[in-house]
Amino acid sequence: MNHITIRLCLAWCCWLVLAFLAEAAVTTRDEESGKSQIWARLLDDAGRVQLPTKFLKAFPPDFIHFEFDDLRTYAAEYHPDEHRMVLNRSLSFNSAGRTLKPLDKMTHKELEVLYHELFHAYVDYLQVVEADSGETGHRSNGLLHFAREQQTCRYGEVEIAPIVQRKDETESRYLTQAESWEALNETWAVFIGWAVWNQLEVQYKAGKSMFQEQRQAHQWIRRLKVAFETGDLRGYYVPEDPEERRLARKRHLAKSSQLTLKEAEVLMKQALGFQHDFIERLEDSFESSKASAC
Ligand SMILES: [Zn+2]
């Protein structure tokens, strides 16, 4: 091969590499603008139908990577390592699996599932921020700080219900750090989904916002009381011990280890952004059961 041929070959190779890099950059930009568009529409939709937006507004618009699939075992999944949310195809526009369906076209159940997963993503985001700012010595977010406190005092030793249907049969468990963090995360996400589903239900029947109508607010608070009484606000964890995992893939917490009123109030204030007077009304009606859990 003479010098001119070698030079031509090199030039061709360089051109190919540059063309590939340029295409990759365009694809990444497209992906980012796609993510931002989904996020902007989600926020807009949530605001319009008066669903909570406080914790959603904390995210950068391209933080979550949305995917759609035909999920059979679970309605949705969130993978913190890649900030990836996999939703059932039914939550996508025209079930085409490309972009999120408008929120006002979703069923109450679908919105419950979506908010549950969005909350997992929020905790993931707070941890990412904390890890980044750890180097510069910033203090961690208030909700994350409260979560760590609750993890230590409430989720390190829990009661579980080995058979989910038999709520009264319970056993004690000491949880590892990972297990207690998962148990807290699931319990809190269950409450976020519960709060949204019940807001939609009480508003749907009357066609009025529960933040403007006392009657609807009262109904939501009444539902919360019943949920505490029946032990509905319980999370789960996947046991780390292979022996325990052979017995049960998931361990569901028992009623005595469900969410506390204190945790619910902090989540209403700091994640959902419920108004002050709403929370005051709630505190008044729970006056007798205001014991501190820690
Ligand atoms: Zn979950």
Residue 150: pLDDT band with limits 50, 70, 90 = very high
User: Does an H or E element contain 252, and which?
Assistant: strand 251-252
Whole-number Å distance, alpha carbon 161 to ligand 1 midpoint, is 18
User: Does an H or E element contain 67, and which?
Assistant: strand 65-69
Whole-number Å distance, alpha carbon 150 to ligand 1 midpoint, is 18
Whole-number Å distance, alpha carbon 120 to ligand 1 midpoint, is 7
pLDDT tens string 201-239: 999 878 888 988 899 999 999 999 999 999 999 999 999
Q: Tokens standing for 43?
A: 């926020």
Whole-number Å distance, alpha carbon 277 to ligand 1 midpoint, is 29
Residue 294: pLDDT band with limits 50, 70, 90 = confident
Compute CA 72 distance to the chain's CA centroid, rounded to the nearest angstrom: 20
pLDDT tens string 139-149: 668 999 999 99
Share of the chain above pLDDT 90, in %: 70
Whole-number Å distance, alpha carbon 2 to ligand 1 midpoint, is 64
Q: Which residue has the higher pLDDT, 47 or 167?
A: 47
Q: How far is CA 243 from CA 139, 160, 172, 174, 240, in A?
A: 39, 16, 16, 15, 9
Whole-number Å distance, alpha carbon 193 to ligand 1 midpoint, is 10
Whole-number Å distance, alpha carbon 119 to ligand 1 midpoint, is 9
Of the listed ranges 5-9, 56-60, 66-70, 281-285, the least confidently predicted one is 5-9
What pLDDT is stored for residue 9 in this prediction? 46
Domains of the chain by residue range: 17-130, 141-294
* DSSP characters over 83-130: TEEEEEGGGBGGG-SSSBPPGGGS-HHHHHHHHHHHHHHHHHHHHHHH
What pLDDT is stored for residue 25 in this prediction? 53
Whole-number Å distance, alpha carbon 252 to ligand 1 midpoint, is 12
Whole-number Å distance, alpha carbon 189 to ligand 1 midpoint, is 6
Whole-number Å distance, alpha carbon 102 to ligand 1 midpoint, is 22
Whole-number Å distance, alpha carbon 44 to ligand 1 midpoint, is 24
pLDDT tens string 6-39: 554 455 554 555 554 555 554 555 666 677 888 9
Q: Tokens standing for 258?
A: 């469900």
Q: Which residue has the higher pLDDT, 94 or 32?
A: 94
Nearest to 141 by CA among 235, 263, 259, 55: 55
Whole-number Å distance, alpha carbon 190 to ligand 1 midpoint, is 7
